[in-house]
């Protein structure tokens, strides 16, 4: 999933697996329990880098 932009802040929390999250060209690897804050208006991408399915929670304000 690439090049998303939202009009509100977003918080992504990894429940299981592993994600690569890129926010404004900054790459972060998130493991279970990790949270990634994505500010409103920031172009971002999310990619599963786990050998199996990755599950994550996300919310907007």
CATH of the domain at 42: 2.60.120.10
37 located within any domain: yes
Number of residues in the chain: 61
pLDDT at position 1 over 80? no
| Average pLDDT of the segment spanning 29-38 | 98
Q: Extract the tokens encoding 4.
A: 């998303």
Confidence of residue 43 (pLDDT cuts 50, 70, 90): very high
Count structural domains, the chain: 1
Structural domain boundaries, residue 22? 10-60
Nearest to 44 by CA among 15, 16, 17, 60: 60
pTM of the model: 0.90
Summary mean pLDDT of the chain: 96
Nearest to 41 by CA among 14, 4, 16: 4
Q: What percent of the chain has pLDDT over 90?
A: 97
| Average pLDDT of the segment spanning 14-20 | 98
């Amino acid at each position: 999933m690439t090049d998303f932009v939202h009009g509100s802040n977003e918080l992504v929390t990894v429940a299981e697996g592993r994600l690569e999250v890129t926010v404004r060209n900054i790459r972060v690897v998130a493991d279970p329990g990790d949270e990634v804050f994505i500010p409103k208006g920031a172009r971002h991408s999310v990619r599963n880098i786990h050998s199996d399915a990755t599950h994550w929670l996300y919310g907007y304000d």
